[in-house]
């Protein structure tokens, strides 16, 4: 933990007070060693470590990127979604913090227990629906009077976005999100007890010229089975290379060995102008850059690999590999 740094004037004043007897060094030492009392609110029990909160933040940063791509394609307008904050607080406090009438999507995430709540600000939700129906993306907040058609459009839009949530969690656990309820009044919704700790991920959302928040509420009961996987230790273990399957290695090796290569023996090369090329005729001699006292080069897929010498084998032209080409600043080295 960072310690407070004193200025030179403060140090001089402190030394002066100690030398004149205004302050007692023993008393200062006792104050430092004295145990300090920290206020703890049992209603706001912190059940997740900072390390686990950071892991959840990384997962939802990935989700926000996927969601931005998904909504951009669906709505065909400018969309930007970013993680604003990741906090843990009592469920009752979260319910009080959201509008009295809003868009609430409740979905299960088997094989995990419990349900997750995705709350979308009405401004954002109506901007999305307006774009789906061919509008400019303007927002009209009339969430208390949703028609059946509007409810169906919104629920389907968010339901399809859950595929991105499944992908974002893929590195931790394989979930299958399923939309179960669509509500507009949070007072009718009781997912967990009021004092239950939940993680609230807030996403800053911009749809065209409309902006608002999307909040994801994850109860502790949902995350409890996978809490060990939210640690840095787990992430570091995942990054370690796994033992390769010998059968897979053999199959890959067999496939690579069966690949065909373009192999060419280069007799020599030269440069000429278009005029010289057009003036070529029978019995003309073209001078190459290959010295007669040096070996030829063999190219494999346009890369020089071997030094060779030409010859004959069973009444056919052939080449003999002399040594492997070691490379250099140029092919002539």
Indicate if the pLDDT at residue 29 is higher than 60.
yes
Asked if the 43-239 domain carries CATH number 3.40.1550.10, the reply is yes
Q: Give the pLDDT confidence score for residue 23 in this predicted structure.
A: 66
Phi/psi for 232 (5° steps) reads -65, -35
Residue 316, strand partner residues: 313
- Average pLDDT of the chain is 82
Q: Which is nearest to 103 in space by CA: 159, 155, 163, 165? A: 155
Task: Say how far apart CA 112 and CA 222 lie, in whole Å.
Answer: 6
Domain residue ranges in the chain:
43-239, 262-324
Q: What are the residues whose beta carbons fall under 8 Å from the beta carbon of 290, sequence distance 6 or more?
A: 266, 267, 268, 269, 296
Q: Give the pLDDT confidence score for residue 33 in this predicted structure.
A: 59
Task: Say how far apart CA 57 and CA 230 lie, in whole Å.
Answer: 10
Q: Give the pLDDT confidence score for residue 42 in this predicted structure.
A: 57
Q: Which CATH superfamily is domain 262-324 in?
A: SpoA-like (2.30.330.10)
Task: Say how far apart CA 213 and CA 28 lie, in whole Å.
Answer: 49
Q: Which is nearest to 108 in space by CA: 191, 180, 157, 183? A: 180
Region of poorest pLDDT, from 189-198, 243-252, 253-262, 302-311: 243-252
Region of poorest pLDDT, from 178-192, 222-236, 302-316: 222-236
Q: Give the pLDDT confidence score for residue 277 in this predicted structure.
A: 84
Q: Give the pLDDT confidence score for residue 196 in this predicted structure.
A: 87
Indicate if the pLDDT at residue 122 is higher than 60.
yes
Indicate if the pLDDT at residue 333 is higher than 80.
no
Indicate if the pLDDT at residue 44 is higher than 70.
no
Six token digits for residue 31: 């104050």
Of 268 and 235, more confident? 268
Of 287 and 40, more confident? 287
pLDDT grade for 124, boundaries at 50, 70 and 90: confident
> Per the omega criterion (within 30 degrees of 0), is the bond before 295 cis?
no
Q: Give the pLDDT confidence score for residue 1 in this predicted structure.
A: 41
Read off the pLDDT of each residue in 183-208 and give the average, rounded to a whole number.
87
- Per residue in 134-186, pLDDT (tens digit) is 887 776 666 567 788 888 888 888 888 888 999 999 888 899 999 988 888 88
Residue 207, strand partner residues: 79, 210
Within this chain, domains 43-239 and 262-324 share the same CATH topology: no
- Per residue in 72-94, pLDDT (tens digit) is 988 888 899 999 999 988 888 88
- Per residue in 239-287, pLDDT (tens digit) is 555 566 788 888 888 888 888 888 888 888 888 888 888 888 888 888 8
């Amino acid at each position: 933990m960072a310690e407070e740094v004193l200025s030179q004037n403060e140090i001089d004043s402190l030394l002066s007070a100690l030398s004149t007897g205004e302050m007692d060094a023993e008393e200062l030492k006792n104050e430092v060693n004295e145990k300090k009392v920290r206020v703890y609110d049992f209603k706001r029990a912190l059940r997740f470590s900072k390390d686990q909160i950071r892991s959840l933040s990384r997962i939802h940063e990935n989700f926000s990127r996927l969601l931005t791509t998904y909504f951009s394609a669906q709505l065909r307008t400018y969309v930007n979604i970013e993680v604003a904050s990741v906090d843990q607080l009592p469920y009752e406090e979260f319910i009080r913090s959201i509008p009295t009438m809003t868009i609430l999507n409740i979905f299960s995430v088997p094989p995990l227990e419990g349900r997750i709540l995705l709350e979308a600000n009405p401004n954002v939700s109506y901007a999305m629906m307006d774009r789906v129906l061919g509008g400019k993306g303007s927002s009209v907040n009339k969430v208390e009077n949703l028609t059946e058609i509007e409810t169906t459009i919104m629920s389907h839009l968010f339901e399809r976005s859950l595929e991105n949530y499944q992908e974002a969690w893929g590195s931790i656990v394989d979930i299958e999100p399923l939309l179960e309820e669509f509500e507009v009044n949070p007072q009718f919704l009781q997912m967990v007890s009021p004092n239950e700790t939940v993680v609230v991920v807030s996403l800053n959302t911009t749809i065209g010229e409309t902006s608002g928040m999307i909040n994801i509420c994850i109860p502790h009961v949902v995350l409890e089975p996978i809490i060990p996987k939210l640690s840095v230790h787990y992430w570091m273990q995942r990054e370690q290379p796994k033992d390769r399957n010998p059968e897979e290695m053999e199959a890959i090796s067999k496939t690579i060995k069966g690949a065909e290569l373009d192999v060419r023996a280069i007799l020599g090369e030269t440069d000429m102008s278009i005029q010289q090329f057009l003036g070529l005729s029978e019995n003309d001699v073209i001078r190459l850059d290959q010295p007669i006292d040096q070996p030829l080069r063999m190219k494999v897929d346009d890369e020089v690999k071997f030094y060779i010498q030409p010859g004959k084998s069973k009444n056919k032209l052939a080449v003999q590999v002399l040594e492997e080409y070691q490379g250099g600043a140029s092919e002539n080295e």
